[in-house]
């Protein structure tokens, strides 16, 4: 995949962020995590240097921060055992 070669519009997540992303949950991002992003829009999401998929940077409703909206496929979302 080309995501491993991208240098801009990439968000690197820690383990907690990775888990939220895989659960398809929005998460706030601190400015350091989006320093290489050009603004709101689609981004490549990585954890430990491995591409996980795509996300969307959105501006919080109050306009003061950015959030990552997960675009992780619903069919791949981990489910709790029943």
The per-residue pLDDT for range 24-75, each reduced to its tens digit, is 999 999 989 899 999 899 999 999 989 999 999 998 877 778 999 999 998 8
Q: What is the dihedral of CA 26, 32, 33, 34, to 10 degrees?
A: 90
CB neighbourhood size of 10 (10 A): 17
Interatomic CA distance for residues 20 and 24, integer angstroms? 6
- The per-residue pLDDT for 72 is 92
- How far apart are alpha carbons 10 and 3 in whole angstroms? 8
Q: What is the pLDDT of residue 80?
A: 64
Give the span between the Cα atoms of 28 and 30, in whole angstroms: 7
């Amino acid at each position: 995949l080309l995501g491993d070669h991208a240098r801009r519009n990439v968000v690197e997540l820690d383990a907690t962020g990775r888990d939220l992303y895989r659960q398809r949950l929005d998460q706030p991002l601190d400015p350091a995590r989006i320093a290489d992003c050009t603004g709101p829009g689609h981004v490549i999401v990585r954890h430990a240097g491995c591409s996980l998929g795509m996300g969307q940077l959105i501006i919080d409703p109050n306009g003061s921060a950015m959030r990552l909206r997960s675009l992780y496929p619903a069919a791949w979302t981990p489910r709790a055992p029943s």
